[in-house]
Structure 1
Amino acid sequence: MTSDMPADHPAVSVIIPVHNSKTVLDDQLRALARQDYEHPFTVIVSDNGSTDGLREHIESHCLRNELALRYVDSGGTPGASFARNRGADVATSAVLAFCDADDAVHPSWLRRIVAALDEYDLVGTGLETETLNSDATRASTPFAPPSDQGKSAFLPFVIGASMACRTSTYRDLGGMLEYVRASEDMEFSWRAQQSGYHMHFIAEPLVSYRLRTGHRENWRQAAALGYGSAHVRGLYRDVGCPPFRARGIAVALLALAVRNPLLPTALTRMPTRLWLRLVASRLGLIRGGRRYRSLVW
């Protein structure tokens, strides 16, 4: 991965935002070492304030030379957007690819996603949950099939756990908005398309996605995603993005109230983690929708 690359195969920087994920990061690094991509790439680990000894782990990592690992301190501001942007700032390659610390890319991921940049400016891929998660975890967390991922009521979007673009594109757009704390990948995708860039979503599972397992983790993630989705829709209301409907959210919450975890699962037919996610996401939509004008009756 250190030889000179032909002009028609620009070098790639794979950027991984990390916060206290050292215990699972090695799965992703090993997956990157198994890529069938035949040209040079480097891996930038952007440390967003970790306290688990990540820097020492990377600097002495057994794959450091093979992956041309580079550690970047991005602890100034919490958030994946800030970490991705700081990683992009130090990248010297023509292409940026992004994945997450707790997932595992498939062997063809980098080859497929970079090849699509021959025709498009921003590329994303589908995710699958079978590889890294138990059946019980998957049953507790709703997850759309790849054919339905990357879709919204406004414009399609790429997922931050699996995306790539030219470095010039990323910098021209100013990177990801650091004040958008969730659904920032959706906002970046919409902004790119509004700016005239062409996006493509490979509706195939090229990344193994790791689901949250704890009740608190599920609640926090779902609430943040709901709030972030409402924030992003509010940002794009003036260019035609439809708002969320409070009536539908209220009906959904009422239905969830009668299926709450205090009742037997045999009666509600809903795992507690799933109930928590559904409630948290809708409460997040309400909070964000009221603040960012993306909620109507």
Structure 2
Amino acid sequence: MTASVVIAYHRGLPDLDVQLEALAAQDFTGDFEVIVSDNEGSAEVREHLDTHPLREHLDLRCVDSSDVAGTSHARNVGTRSARGDFIAYCDQDDAVHPTWLRAMVTAGRDADLIGGPLERDTLNDPIVAAWRALPDPEEPVVLGRHLPMSFGCNLGVRREVFDAVGGWDEDYPTAGSDVEFCWRVQTAGYSFGYAREAMVAYRYRTGLRESWNQVIDYGSEEARVAKQYGAPGREWWWFPIHAGVVLATCPVWPWGWSRRRRGAWIWVTGNLVGRIKGSLKYRVVYL
């Protein structure tokens, strides 16, 4: 099985080079190419990749996806230009572990859609890493008590399956797109597999404001996908517990003034705010 790695790109230098170096260190012995789908329309990144020292080693090429803004469109353009039988998605600012592509492709022989775990320690300083807990790496994530999913920064799919379901839904430009894609593939009758060795070092956003905006978008669009697919969401008692944690850890209290605690509070609170926002916006109870 041949593989194509697709990276959606937008203002991603110099972090992109970290990901390309990680891809060059893969222990996968088969043929694969790397496609950077440029959603920015950047002459800088094209020139950078045209002269990149890993260009031949990675069979690296750049495609233009700047006509429509959004990660989903970038992934669609990148995938439709791919030559591989199996498509593996990773992000411009992360770093895949050396076993990543081998584990993805191996799992892809037995399942149609493949997910993998994330870790937070390699690319983040300890304070930022403490802001947000990541899911258990031993099991796939199940959101909304519905179906398993994998984050778009660590996801693989057979090309024939991608074509059969019509690719990524561009009505979800960024947040929620991975949940929607995973659930649509599975409700179309295709199987989900999980590759524990397909680990990705995940890079957190380091600004408090950008983290706040990101987590609100996540919560809001998660509510949208839940309504679309009839996911029941969390048990009712999670909402008062969540609200209690927000109040107890509020930075107005002296024990919450450190940057570590403020960042953790922003993530927990922003998730709740996003759920409320999405519930109101999409007229669904997803608290």
Q: TM-score, normalised by structure 2?
A: 0.91
2:194 pairs, out of 188, 201, 207, with 201
Partners of 1:286 and 1:258 in 2: CA distance:
19
Deviation at 1:137, TM superposition (A): 1.2
Partners of 1:74 and 1:246 in 2: CA distance:
42
Q: How do 1:78-157 residues align onto structure 2 when only pairs under 5 Å count?
A: 78-152=69-143, 153-157=145-149
SS at 2:190's partner residue? Answer: coil
169-178 vs 247-256, which deviates more?
Answer: 247-256
Deviation at 1:196, TM superposition (A): 0.7
Deviation at 1:293, TM superposition (A): 3.2
Distance 1:120 1:149, change over 3 A: closer
CA contact (8 A) 1:128 1:145 kept: no
Distance 1:205 1:137, change over 3 A: farther
CA contact (8 A) 1:16 1:46 kept: yes
Deviation at 1:258, TM superposition (A): 4.7
278-287 vs 191-200, which deviates more?
Answer: 278-287
Deviation at 1:169, TM superposition (A): 0.6
Q: Does 1:162 align with 2:164?
A: no
Superposed structure 1 runs of 4+ greater than 6 Å apart:
267-270
1:211 counterpart residue number? 204
SS at 1:53's partner residue? Answer: helix
Partners of 1:70 and 1:121 in 2: CA distance:
26
CA contact (8 A) 2:276 2:286 kept: no
Q: Does 1:294 align with 2:287?
A: no
Deviation at 1:255, TM superposition (A): 4.3
CA contact (8 A) 1:20 1:52 kept: no
CA contact (8 A) 2:65 2:73 kept: yes
CA contact (8 A) 2:251 2:257 kept: no
Gaps of 5+ in 2: none
Partners of 1:146 and 1:98 in 2: CA distance:
18
- AA aligned opposite 1:200: G
Partners of 1:164 and 1:42 in 2: CA distance:
14
CA contact (8 A) 1:243 1:294 kept: no
CA contact (8 A) 1:147 1:204 kept: no
Task: Give the number of equivalent residue pairs.
Answer: 285
CA contact (8 A) 2:37 2:78 kept: yes
Q: Does 1:220 align with 2:208?
A: no
2:265 pairs, out of 275, 285, 294, with 275
Partners of 1:196 and 1:228 in 2: CA distance:
24
CA contact (8 A) 1:126 1:207 kept: yes
2:7 pairs, out of 2, 16, 19, with 16
Q: Does 1:57 align with 2:83?
A: no
CA contact (8 A) 2:103 2:197 kept: no
Gaps of 5+ in 1: 1-9
1:242 pairs, out of 232, 248, 251, with 232
Partners of 1:34 and 1:104 in 2: CA distance:
10
Distance 1:268 1:72, change over 3 A: closer
CA contact (8 A) 1:126 1:149 kept: yes
Partners of 1:41 and 1:77 in 2: CA distance:
27
